Amino acid sequence: MNATLSTFLLLSVPGLPLLLAFPALRSRLYWPCYIALLPVLILLTVPMGVSIDLPWLLLGSGLAIHDGADRLLLAVTALLWTAAAALLHTTTNKPADDRLTTYFLLTLAGNLGAILATELVGFFAFSALMGYGFYALLVAGGDERTRWAARVYLVFLILADLALFEALLIAAATTGDLSFETVRQAIAQSPSLALYLSMVLVGFALKAGLWPFHFWLPPAFRWSQPAVALLLGGVPIAIALLGMVRWLPLGEIAFPDLGLIIQGTGGAAMLYAIVGGLMRAQLKTLPAYTTIVATGLFTTALGAGLADPAVWNRYGNLAYFFIASLGFMVAVLVATTVWLQARYHYPARPEKHADDSIPWFERWPGAAIRWAAQMGVGTLPRLRAVWLAKVGRLRQVRAWQRALDGSERSLQRWAYAIALFLLLGIVMVFVGTSSWN
């Protein structure tokens, strides 16, 4: 394959979904979500490895697909998105479908770009696009209970991007070449190694919802529509685990103490998921607790690799197969639970929104108000009115919740803003190309 054709093919894998995210460009197309996956299918049929360098894009970027592990991950990803596209077109009405199609294509572009990225800047940019696109999918495609999970995910996503951006700055200060292999070798000798490891681990743990940052996973699996729940394992979780494998200097350093802590965290996550799954045995939460067990197992293996580089050098290639199988396994579980519920009509337990769905940081103002009101009745009966008036000010804490409600409802009017944003990005790419030439 010549250079021009390989460049066009690799750029079209994340580029075509971005172009089709323009409502005007896909308005006359049938099945735009399936059309956006065509470059991926063509790329998978190319027998040889393909790579390009784009020094004019994002301060220097690259896209590539090489060995069987990369192809397996890309093939599983394409399969999941095809299944999600089928569910998206059969379970939504026309207005919602138009909105969800835009967010679907944006998330797809970020997901595919992160898999093909060969360096830190591209992976960070594509994973950020994927993350915020997936937040829009959760909000636009779900009800109030799904939006509670989406808010937690959004908070964790912002914190994760801040941590990963700090890690990116450390890597840029260490070496001028930000490709994965070069960064792993350079950061292993850096005096900022401990800070870099902390930022990367915390950042991707927040993105993946690893225990103890798992609060949004059970309600997201439980209340999201099937097209979105099908992607949970293969999109935010799998890409975050892939980021750990690519960003961390695994096989280059020996960090026994940190490795032991991470292994203990993974073991605690598996124990929590097993006990919690048995105590809250419910068909709709089975994929969530299974995912926590699987990510706990991955965390334990990651800790072993940080503690002993020889272990990772021997077994590290299996990480890609584990990530690919995790996304596929979670999707099968979600599809199975949806099918069983539709076929056998499993009765749902009485819903406890305050216990199961609402995050703790949204519950505490109301709990504090109720507790203070009870204290006022029992201990200060004469000053009860004054007491309740003062305590009522705590309700101002909920102002950010109302702001989020309004912003989430305004997602349906994002089509024009997204179109302008993508147009600006395309103009910047052409300007960079012309200046590079």
pLDDT 10s digits, 194-227: 899 999 999 999 999 898 888 888 888 888 888 8
Quote the CA–CA distance of 245 and 319 in Å, as a whole number. Answer: 8
pLDDT above 80: residue 64: yes
**pLDDT bracket for residue 405 (50, 70, 90):** low
User: Which residue, among 184, 44, 55, has the nearest Cα to 115 in the 3D structure?
Assistant: 44
pLDDT at position 246 is: 92
pLDDT digits 0-9 by tens, 324-357 = 999 889 888 888 887 777 776 654 444 444 444 4
Task: Lowest mean pLDDT of 136-150, 160-174, 187-201, 305-319, name the range.
Answer: 136-150
pLDDT digits 0-9 by tens, 66-118 = 777 888 899 999 999 999 888 876 654 444 457 788 888 999 999 999 999 88
pLDDT above 80: residue 407: no
What is this structure's pTM? 0.78
pLDDT above 50: residue 436: no
pLDDT at position 376 is: 47
pLDDT at position 389 is: 57
pLDDT above 90: residue 160: yes
